Amino acid sequence: MKIVIVCDILGKKNNGTSIASYNLINSLKSKGHDVKVICCDLDDSEDKEGFIILNKLNLGPLNKIVERNGVSLPLKDKKAIINAIKGCDLVHVMLPFPLGITACRMAKKLGKPVTAGFHCQAELISSHLGLMNCQPVNTQIYKRFYSRLYQFCDAIHYPTQFICDVFENIVGETNHYIISNGVNKYMTSKVCNKPQSLKDKFIILSTGRLCKEKSHMTLFKAVACSKHNSEIQIIIAGQGPLKCKLEKYADENIANKPIIKYFSREEMIDLVNYSDLYVHPAKAELEGIACLEAVVCGLVPIVSNSKKSATKDFAISDYNIFNCDDYNDLASKIDYWFEHPEEKQIYKNKYIQFGEKFNQEECMDKMEEMFNDVLKNRVK
């Protein structure tokens, strides 16, 4: 197949959507498909072959806000888009943003089938307006996603049943495929010693962009009131606009200075394997690949039970879940696992088994099947 993948956001592998995009791109290339990618930025580690790099969109004073979130947005170049898609078999759009919407419209004019991934919750947008919990606003955002992009798609890829249900309850039934983004086989359980400077610490790992909806402050407050505050080391693999606020709170309330930084893939594999606990406090989460990467390695998680988060389905016991935003409840769960290392080992093995169904190669095979189904139906 000749496939064009349209990425409003790609760049560095510092967010779930970019990671999912690269995984799909590289899987399709490895299967021998001719893949072109329209974007405005890519990770330094990627081979540039097949990437059509557009100029970055200049938002004037808003540029700093976009940069703080660690992403770049593309300037629409209709000529480049048409040149990319006119000879393809299928166009796959990653996000319901301007570049993807434009590519969809042009593909339809050229008679090309279009599929799209559902990788953006409404809450990711409404949270910037201070309206994350305002359901009428979120409903209007989803309706706009549908009217601008998804109603024109031959098939929609939902990473979880959770987000499929949320969207279809608002816009009605769609031709959908529910396929996890999956976890790469390089994420695997292995013996890994803690760095010398952390050997006596109970390491709690969390990940994600440092923003309101990820709710890292709930974790910080939980550690602050934990019975084992002095023995806990928080490590957050992520960047974002709330870093200074989190660090200021930690300076005043947490015994050990948190480590907050970007980690390379190799560093993440080691980090996941020498950490003691994974906490995912997000209020809104479409799938939670970072959490999945942790659990497939056997790192026991504690996840928020937020109604707006898919990761609550990763809890296999009452001690793996806490009441959303309730840092006292989270603190009690942290203390439980701190004080029950033998049981934590039992759950490590349970989570390794739990993670087997998220094998990325199998998930990418299903994505390939979706594309083939769309093309076969178009021929009919």
Pull the structure tokens for residue 98.
């301007």
Do residues 314 and 301 lie in contact, with contact meaning Cβ atoms separated by under 8 Å? Answer: yes
What fold, for 196-358?
Rossmann fold (3.40.50)
Q: What is the pLDDT of residue 149?
A: 98
Q: What is the pLDDT of residue 258?
A: 97
pTM > 0.85: yes
Q: What is the pLDDT of residue 128?
A: 77
User: What is the residue type of 9?
Assistant: I
Q: What is the pLDDT of residue 278?
A: 98
Sheet bearing 114-117, strands edge to edge: 51-53, 34-39, 2-6, 90-93, 114-117, 155-158, 176-178
User: CATH number of 2-182+359-379: 3.40.50.1460, 3.40.30.10, 3.40.50.2000, 3.40.109.10?
Assistant: 3.40.50.2000
Euclidean distance between the first and the last CA atom of the chain, given in angstroms as a whole number = 17
Sequence-distant (6+) residues with CB within 8 A of 117 are: 20, 92, 93, 94, 95, 156, 157, 159
Please tell me the number of Cα atoms within 13 Å of 53 on its side-chain side: 9
| Backbone torsions φ then ψ of 299, nearest 5 degrees | -80, 115
Q: What is the pLDDT of residue 291?
A: 92
| Backbone torsions φ then ψ of 177, nearest 5 degrees | -130, 125
Q: What is the pLDDT of residue 69?
A: 60
Q: What is the pLDDT of residue 165?
A: 96
* Block mean pLDDT (10 aa), the chain, length 380: 94 82 94 95 80 79 59 78 94 96 96 96 87 92 97 97 96 96 91 94 94 93 97 94 94 96 91 97 92 94 96 95 97 98 96 92 96 86
- The distance from CA 126 to its chain's CA centroid, rounded to whole angstroms, is 17
**Rounded to whole angstroms, what are the CA distances from 11 to 15, 69, 131?**
9, 12, 27
Residue span(s) of the chain under CATH 3.40.50.2000 come to 2-182+359-379, 196-358
